[in-house]
Amino acid sequence: MRQADGSRLVSGLLRPDEVERRNGVALHKDEAYATVAGPVAKELGRVPAEGDAVRITLEVAGEDPRDVLLTVVELDGLRVDSVHVRTRLPPSDGWRTSQGTAEQDS
């Protein structure tokens, strides 16, 4: 679901290729993630919690690298139910991973 700011709210069950096809956001084509939640869990090194956010840099052949902020919006037990995908980020705006919230460095 497209948000007013151009970001997307997507099902955590979508495969990365489905996210790209439906929303135009390519998530780690070189990695074999089963769902969009995969890159979040990999970056965190643990099972995600609601509010966890990770910033990943996408390297797409023929394009400049771009950052994507993935935020876990809702869980169903331990399964990531929905993820907020934000692609329009200021360069190096200091986002860091934090359980329960996406915090910005001062």
Residue 79 is assigned to a structural domain of this protein: yes
Token pair belonging to 57:
């840099």
Determine, yes or no, domain membership for 66.
yes
Q: How far apart are CA 52 and CA 103, in angstroms?
A: 10
- pLDDT, averaged across the chain: 77
95 within some domain: no
For the stretch 23-57, pLDDT in tens is 777 776 556 678 888 888 988 999 999 999 998 88
Domain-located, residue 96: no
In a domain, 94, yes or no: no
Domain CATH code at residue 77: 3.30.465.10
Q: What is the largest CA-CA distance in the chain?
A: 39
pTM for the predicted model, two decimal places: 0.74
Q: Which of 3-12, 33-42, 54-63 has the lowest mean pLDDT?
A: 54-63
Answer whether residue 77 shows pLDDT above 50: yes
Residue 102 lies in a domain: no
Domain count for the chain: 1
Q: Within a domain: residue 106?
A: no
Q: Where is average pLDDT lowest: 61-65, 78-82, 88-92, 94-98? A: 94-98
Instruction: Determine the structural domain holding residue 35 and report its residue range.
Output: 8-89
